[in-house]
Amino acid sequence: QQQVKQSPQSLIVQKGGISIINCAYENTAFDYFPWYQQFPGKGPALLIAIRPDVSEKKEGRFTISFNKSAKQFSLHIMDSQPGDSATYFCAAQNSGGSNYKLTFGKGTLLTVNP
Amino acid sequence: NAGVTQTPKFQVLKTGQSMTLQCAQDMNHEYMSWYRQDPGMGLRLIHYSVGAGITDQGEVPNGYNVSRSTTEDFPLRLLSAAPSQTSVYFCASREIADQPQHFGDGTRLSIL
C-alpha cells in the first residue's frame, strides 16, 4: 500500500514558468511533510517542510500548499530556472510514532528548459 | 564539515558475494537509516536505528543486516548478493526530533 502518492512522474517547464508537483497521503496521523530535492549523483537534500497547522509555507521561490481535509499537499516553484532541474520527493512522517520514519513518494523528475 | 559519509561510492559484485556498505556521520545524530533508490520506486527504507544498540526493520529488509555499535557508524551488510539488490543505496541521519534528514551521496551497487 503506497502511503504517499506523488504526481506527475516527470515534468517539463520553460524557464520562468511555474512548476507544480502534487502529493496525496492516506495516513491521517502524518503531521510533518517535507520536500527533498535531488541532483544527479547526489543524495536528497531538504528543500522545504510544512506542518498541518498552516495551509501554506513560502521560502523564496518555493511554496508548499497544504490541504488537510483533502489529505493533499503540493510544491510550487515560481519563476522556474534551469538550475531547478532535479528530482523532487515529497515525504510524510507521523511525529507521534516511536520511530520517526519518513515515507517518501516515488519522485518527480523536473526539467526546466532555458 | 563532513556530514554523512558513505563508502564505497561504486561497487560491482558477483551473485552470492557478501559485502558491507559503510556509513559514518559526524553530527552526533541519534537516528540513522538506510534507503535504496530504484527507478520509479522512490526511496524505500531498508533498516533504521534510533540510537546505538537499537535497530529495526524498514519496508524492504530482506537480504540485509545492520548493526549500530556507535552513534557515528551504521554499516549495511549484504549477506549473499542477488541481482535484485542492484540499486543506489543512501544512508541518512538526523536528530530524533523533527529535524532535516541528512543524506550521504550514495553507493551505486551492481550485482552481476
Q: Tens digit of pLDDT for each residue in B26-42?
A: 999 999 999 999 988 88
Q: Which of B101, B102, B108 has the highest number of chain A CBs within 10 A, making it the mutation to test binding with A?
A: B101
C-alpha distance from B86 to closest chain A C-alpha (Å): 16
**Mean pLDDT (whole number) for B104-108:** 96
Domain containing residue A72: 4-113
CA B24 to chain CA mean position, Å = 10
C-alpha cell read off for B50: 534510533
- For chain A, which residues lie within 8 Å of any Cβ of chain B, measuring from their own Cβ? 6, 9, 32, 34, 41-46, 49, 89, 93, 95, 98-102, 104-107
* Integer Cα distance of B103 and B94 in angstroms: 9
| pLDDT(A97) > 70 | no
CATH number, position A41: 2.60.40.10
Between CA B51 and CA B57, with CA B56 as vertex, the angle to 5 degrees is: 145
By CA distance, what is A105's nearest residue in B?
Answer: B42
Give per-residue pLDDT as tens, A11-40. 999 999 999 999 999 988 888 999 999 999
C-alpha cell read off for B21: 556498505
For residue B75, whether the previous peptide bond is cis, meaning omega lies within 30 degrees of 0, is no
| pLDDT(A54) > 70 | yes
Name which of B41, B50, B103 is nearest A99 (Cβ-Cβ): B50
The number of folded domains in chain A is 1
Name which of A95, A101, A105 is nearest B42 (Cβ-Cβ): A105
CA-to-CA dists, residue B96 to A43, A99, B26, B99, angstroms: 20, 8, 15, 7
| pLDDT(B110) > 90 | yes
Q: B35, B33, B23: which is closest to B55 by C-alpha?
A: B33
